[in-house]
Amino acid sequence: MICPGIREASLGEAISVEDMRAIEANSVWWGVSLGKAMENAGRAIVDAIECIYGDVKGKRVAVFAGRGGNGGDGIVAARHLASRGSIVSVHLLWDPQLTTHPDTRDNLKYILQSASIKVYTPGSRGWLELSGEDIVIDAILGVGVRGPIRSPVRDALRVFNESSAFRVAVDIPTGLDPDTGIAAEGTARADITVTMHKPKRGLFIDHGPMYAGKVYVADIGFPTEAELYAGPGDVIARIPVRPRDAYKGLGGRVLVIGGSQSYVGAPIIACRAAAFSGADLVYLAAPQHIAFQAASANPFFIPVVRGPLEEFIETLKGFIERAHAIIYGPGMGLTEETRRLLEVLLELAKGKNLVIDADALKILAEKKAKLWPEVVLTPHRGEAGMLLGERVDPLRVDPLPLAKKIAESYNATVIVKAPVDAICSPDGRCRLNKTGHPAMAVGGTGDALTGVIASFIARRLALGLQVDTLNSVAAAAYITGRAGELAVEEKGETITPLDVVDKIQQAIREAREIIKIGG
């Protein structure tokens, strides 16, 4: 069966709700509004019904619509059904004044005035009553559902499930957890589910197949760039905001191991970037002349004096256990002690989230150690060639193949810093980031990126959230690059790494204000 814009779904392409939120917001950043996507979704629902069920002309269709984006998709579908000759009724689950999604409100205005669509509001005569419908559509909650189903949703789903009509779910059956596939009591049982852009994992696992029926994917016009390139959606969806009942430490703990007699500033930049991007506690393990002076100038640093190696290793064990994310390398220099310390760290921090930067990359290139996917390597193009043992022209080489090869060779996540950053994980997935400015090509901006990466990872771990290292690095690359752009906008092309760090908070705030996704 060929249905233009509609295809059968498979588990292999399924994504999480977090992924979908990121793609939605990134699509807006690329210029595709949620209103346009809603229009495309509503039309796609009707196209799928016509392709699978048959001609809808003269058919009686009831749409159960919620007050968020899922309800908006159903309301747009109602309009398209009416234009194709269906006899359509829309049963709203809440008073129209309580509609939460702005695009849903806009589409609701039309059907409330329409002569061709009958709208039932809660408690009105005929509400949730069916009379020989041929098709019923669940556009109530979609991916927004969590926990038990309560009235009026429970009442609507009882009518939906008892109907002998052709039952259609929009995006995901209401009541089915889109990530786990666990169904709440009373979940919608559909003959088909038309899911948007990509299928959700819950449609294929646990209870999902029993409730979703046949699953079809609708193309709603999201650009491919919204998934490939890092954007504000990666911040909105993937970097958690501080909960109202937050306490110290819930923003994450970052340990920075760096600094030497010759290199003082690099670990300080990394620490400031970690703090300014949201980490609650930042530990700086550095020689005494750096640790105490840095903490004096930055009272939010916690100094850990790096003394004789064997004593420091014993001290380090407790901080490694305490930290959510660890940075090793900024300003360390190349000595036998730093080489030995990296060996010890790779043993003590095995399996933990570790960011390796600067001189530590040179040591790693000597050892060619196999790492683990939670390790992040942050080379520029020249360092990337060094890690691979290849001579590369930094001005000509494509960073993406380098990132892929390093990720595979070292079994680690890698970002190769370039005008367009390439980020790859050892499982073969890759992202790109296009934010940034040539003025950032100065010493220290890489240390800022390292701090943001560690902070973003730590913030998720502190809240007990799973970390997809690839996407956390992508979000950090976007924010650091955008902070650099903001610094250049204010100060011109002669910026310092601290100018970039000082704009991190503005970049995060800007990202969160780009889009407010409705339910």
CB-CB contact of 218 with 44 (8 Å):
yes
| Rounded-to-integer distance, Cα 154 and Cα 312, Å | 60
| Rounded-to-integer distance, Cα 108 and Cα 372, Å | 50
State how many domains the chain has.
2
For residue 1, is it within any domain? no
The whole-number pLDDT of residue 250 equals 84
The whole-number pLDDT of residue 517 equals 43
* Upstream peptide bond of 399 is cis (omega within 30 degrees of 0): no
Q: Which two tokens stand for residue 102?
A: 């702005």
Using H for helix, E for strand and C for coil, what is the string for 283-348? Answer: EEEECHHHHHHHHHHCCCEEEEECCCHHHHHHHHHHHHHHCCEEEECCCCCCCHHHHHHHHHHHHH
Residue 279 sits in the same domain as residue 346: yes
| Rounded-to-integer distance, Cα 340 and Cα 318, Å | 18
Quickly list H helices, 114-186. Answer: 153-162
| Rounded-to-integer distance, Cα 262 and Cα 331, Å | 8
CB-CB contact of 352 with 320 (8 Å):
yes
Residue 156 sits in the same domain as residue 87: yes
The whole-number pLDDT of residue 146 equals 73
Phi, psi of 230 (to 5 degrees): -65, 145
CB-CB contact of 20 with 172 (8 Å):
no
Find tokens 């359509």 and name the residue: 88
Write the CB contacts of 349 (distance below 8 Å, at least 6 apart in sequence): 320, 326
Write the CB contacts of 390 (distance below 8 Å, at least 6 apart in sequence): none
For residue 233, is it within any domain? no
For residue 241, is it within any domain? no
The amino acid at residue 365 is A
The residue among 173, 194, 228 that closes a domain is 228
Q: Taking the mean position of all CA atoms in its chain, how far away is CA 254?
A: 21
Residue 317 sits in the same domain as residue 403: yes
| Rounded-to-integer distance, Cα 446 and Cα 285, Å | 19
289-293 — which CB contacts under 8 Å span 24+ positions?
289/261, 289/264, 290/259, 290/264, 291/259
| Rounded-to-integer distance, Cα 260 and Cα 306, Å | 10
Instruction: Report the CATH number at residue 471.
Output: 3.40.1190.20
The whole-number pLDDT of residue 2 equals 64
Instruction: Report the CATH number at residue 128.
Output: 3.40.50.10260
Residue 180 sits in the same domain as residue 66: yes
Residue 218 sits in the same domain as residue 319: no
Residue 453 sits in the same domain as residue 341: yes
Residue 179 sits in the same domain as residue 324: no
For residue 96, is it within any domain? yes
Q: How far apart are the first and last CA of the chain?
A: 33
| Rounded-to-integer distance, Cα 151 and Cα 154, Å | 5
For residue 403, is it within any domain? yes
Beta strands in 180-291 (DSSP E): 192-196, 214-218, 253-257, 281-286
Cα pseudo-dihedral 103, 44, 64, 21, rounded to 10: -50
The residue among 228, 262, 297 that closes a domain is 228
For residue 494, is it within any domain? yes
| Rounded-to-integer distance, Cα 427 and Cα 411, Å | 9
How many Cβ atoms are within 10 Å of 358's Cβ, its own excluded?
Answer: 26
For residue 201, is it within any domain? yes
Q: Which two tokens stand for residue 281?
A: 């506690």
**Whole domain around residue 144: which residue ranges?**
6-228
Full DSSP string of 376-410: EE--BHHHHHHHHT----TTT--HHHHHHHHHHHH
Residue 208 sits in the same domain as residue 293: no
- What is the spatial order of strands in the sheet that 60-65 belongs to? 6-8, 214-218, 192-196, 166-170, 135-139, 60-65, 87-92, 117-120
Residue 485 sits in the same domain as residue 399: yes
For residue 244, is it within any domain? no
Residue 466 buriedness (CB in 10 A; 0-12 / 13-18 / 19+)? exposed
Name the CA radius of gyration of the chain, rounded.
26
Q: Say how many CA atoms lie within 13 Å of 497 toward its Cβ.
A: 21
**Closest Cα to residue 434, out of 460, 400, 392?**
400
CB-CB contact of 199 with 402 (8 Å):
no
The amino acid at residue 475 is A
**Closest Cα to residue 131, out of 66, 61, 186, 81?**
61
Residue 159 sits in the same domain as residue 290: no
Pick left, alpha or beta for residue 38 (phi over 0 → left; psi -120 to 50 → alpha; otherwise beta): alpha
Find tokens 């703090």 and name the residue: 275
Residue 195 sits in the same domain as residue 344: no
Phi, psi of 172 (to 5 degrees): -160, 145
Tens digit of pLDDT at every position of the chain (519 positions)? 568 889 999 999 999 999 999 999 999 999 999 999 999 999 999 999 999 999 999 999 999 999 999 999 999 999 999 999 999 999 999 999 999 899 999 999 999 999 999 999 999 999 999 989 999 999 999 887 777 899 999 999 999 999 999 999 999 999 999 999 999 999 999 999 999 999 999 999 999 999 999 999 999 999 999 999 999 999 999 999 988 887 787 889 999 999 998 889 999 999 999 999 999 999 999 999 899 889 888 999 999 998 898 899 999 999 999 999 999 999 998 899 999 999 999 999 999 999 999 899 999 999 888 899 999 999 999 999 999 999 888 888 999 999 999 999 999 999 999 999 999 999 999 999 999 999 999 999 999 999 999 999 999 999 999 999 999 999 999 999 999 999 999 999 999 999 999 999 999 999 999 875 433
| Rounded-to-integer distance, Cα 95 and Cα 139, Å | 15
Residue 291 sits in the same domain as residue 208: no
